[in-house]
């Protein structure tokens, strides 16, 4: 979405998730990676720019997963490319574990604060390992509610499989946004899923500069798995 003249500056921080994935992947590869498994990085990138192909309110997108999405909020663009990313990973990479990281929601700062990322996970063991990894490296995180069966209704649409933004902004927005991504996993995917919402800790308060949050967390978690 194109924001106002005061809203768009500093949005360079909004690529904090992709930057963390790229840099953690580079560091893991240079450090030797894991010898007994493949490690892939899929960068899900959206451009805030006007063009004939730009997303407009009321558009309906057919996603890589095959599901259709009614656009009711053009500022919820990151989850669209992340949803395509996890669908791509399921279809082509045969993963046993999918980890996403993004500055997904401003509501993350309400849920877990400015210094702790919020994590959304379908595995108690992976959730615990992520919290422990955060404590060991300093990239702190705290679990968000994982209850897709309670939050899917927020995206109900009469003309598509779902909308891309919630109906009730007071109902666990960060968990709902992560649920949107989760619901584009392949129906037969039975592996682990972890989403790291790092909107707060990705940026220094009062500064245009990013913190690099997430690189150490992903590397520390990589070492525990």
Confidence class of residue 1 from pLDDT cuts 50, 70 and 90? Answer: low
pTM across the whole model: 0.94
Please give the structure tokens belonging to residue 199. Answer: 């909107």
**Is 3 in the active site?**
yes
Q: pLDDT band at residue 205, thresholds of 50, 70 and 90?
A: confident
Average pLDDT over residues 137-150: 98
pLDDT at 36: 77
Lowest-confidence segment of 42-51, 124-133, 145-154, 180-189 by average pLDDT: 42-51
Q: State the Cα–Cα distance between residues 162 and 148, nearest whole angstrom.
A: 13
Q: Is the pLDDT of residue 27 over 80?
A: yes
Mean pLDDT of the chain: 93
Given the residues 5, 56, 67, 79, the one annotated as active site: 79
Tokens of 31: 């450090």
Told to judge if 12 belongs to the known catalytic residues of this protein, a careful annotator would answer no
Catalytic residue selected from 3, 12, 96, 224: 3
pLDDT by residue (tens digit) across 30-88?
987 666 788 999 999 877 777 888 889 999 999 999 999 999 999 899 999 999 999 99
Q: What are phi and psi of 197, to 5 degrees?
A: -95, 110
Strands 68-70, 162-163: pairing is: parallel
> In terms of pLDDT, which residue wins out, 56 or 122?
122
Question: Residue 206: left (phi > 0), alpha (psi -120 to 50), or beta?
Answer: left
Least trusted range by pLDDT, from 19-33, 80-94, 110-124: 19-33
The predicted structure's pLDDT at residue 54: 87
Listed in order, strand segments (DSSP E) in 141-189 are 141-143, 162-163
């Amino acid at each position: 979405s194109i924001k106002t003249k005061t809203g768009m500056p500093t949005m360079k921080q909004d690529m904090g998730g992709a930057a963390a994935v790229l840099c953690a992947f580079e560091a893991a590869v240079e450090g030797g990676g894991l010898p007994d498994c493949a490690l892939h990085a899929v960068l899900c990138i959206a451009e805030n720019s006007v063009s004939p192909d730009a997303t407009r309110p009321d558009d309906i997108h057919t996603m890589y997963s095959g599901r259709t999405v009614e656009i009711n909020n053009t500022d919820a663009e990151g989850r669209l490319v992340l949803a395509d990313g996890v669908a791509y990973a399921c279809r082509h990479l045969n993963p046993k574990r999918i980890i996403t990281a993004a500055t997904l929601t401003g509501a993350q700062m309400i849920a877990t604060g400015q210094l702790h990322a919020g994590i959304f996970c379908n595995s108690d063991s992976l959730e615990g390992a992520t919290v422990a990894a955060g404590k060991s490296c300093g990239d702190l995180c705290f679990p968000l509610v994982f209850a897709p069966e309670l939050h899917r209704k927020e995206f109900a649409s009469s003309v598509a499989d779902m909308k891309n933004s919630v109906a009730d902004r007071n109902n666990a927005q960060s968990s709902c946004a992560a649920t949107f991504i989760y619901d584009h996993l392949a129906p037969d995917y039975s592996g682990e899923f972890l989403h790291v919402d790092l909107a707060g800790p990705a940026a220094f308060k009062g500064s245009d500069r990013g913190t690099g949050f997430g690189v150490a967390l992903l590397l520390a978690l990589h070492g525990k798995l």
